[in-house]
Structure 1
């Protein structure tokens, strides 16, 4: 159920951005915009939120979501829309606004969706170092002798 909630939140953010940029400025059909929104949401959720976010953290996932959103908007824009629209420019702008929403979506996903295995929790930035006090054997024997 938590995956469905996060998918709906992500779909609303992406659909609002796609409808705002492509729909208002270029008068594209609602069906095409809905298909673009659903496809971008599904692919970016599977790759960016379930795979990259758990392994590499929020910043890397946000950057990858920007790149994924741009590439998918550009690709699906060429497939679903007329050729006389400057799709690259609108795709960059829409991907930027989608990427601005992603940290909030990522925080919801991290807080509400449980991790299946413990290995997924480790990211590249969570490396732990252990420190110990090194002792010389002669120092240990001196300390024992002084305690007597």
Structure 2
């Protein structure tokens, strides 16, 4: 249920965003819908479920930007006869990357809460973190003979 809610949210936001950007370049709604559907499905599986879980948000956003650019450029070259494919693809991929940053924060917050409720939270790449404490520095005892004289 949580995955379907996340995919629906991502699809609706990406469709509005893609339509706003790609329609300015003269692309039809049908082509935008096809590109958005393929982009959402593949980026959710690759970027959100694989890369984001194994790395951090910055790496996942960069990967999503690259994948969105390549997929939009490739599909728009097949589906349309546009002249400005690179500029159009870069604009749409940049808008998608901005959305993906916020969407990844949403995913991390909601999926982490689900894992905590189920009792199976994964710490991911946090296994190499260290802990600091005050116990690592010795405290000079006060009142010993020979000190302070």
Identify the TM-score tier after normalising by the shorter chain.
0.7 to 0.9
Cα distance, 1:17 vs structure 2: 2.2
The unaligned stretches of length 5 or more in structure 1 are 134-148
Instruction: Write the mapping of 1:98-113 to structure 2, written as runs, cut at 5 A.
Output: 98-113=96-111
Contact 1:14 1:37 in 2 (8 A): yes
Contact 1:9 1:105 in 2 (8 A): no
1 or 2 for the larger relative contact order (CA 8 Å, sep ≥6)?
A: 1
Normalising by structure 1, report the TM-score: 0.76
Cα distance, 1:130 vs structure 2: 6.3
Instruction: Write the mapping of 1:1-148 to structure 2, written as runs, cut at 5 A.
Output: 1-26=1-26, 28-82=27-81, 84-113=82-111, 114=114, 121-123=123-125, 127-129=128-130
Aligned pairs, number: 129
Cα distance, 1:29 vs structure 2: 2.1
Normalising by structure 2, report the TM-score: 0.76
Q: Deviations over 1:40-76 (max 9, x none)?
A: 1111110000000011011111111111111111111
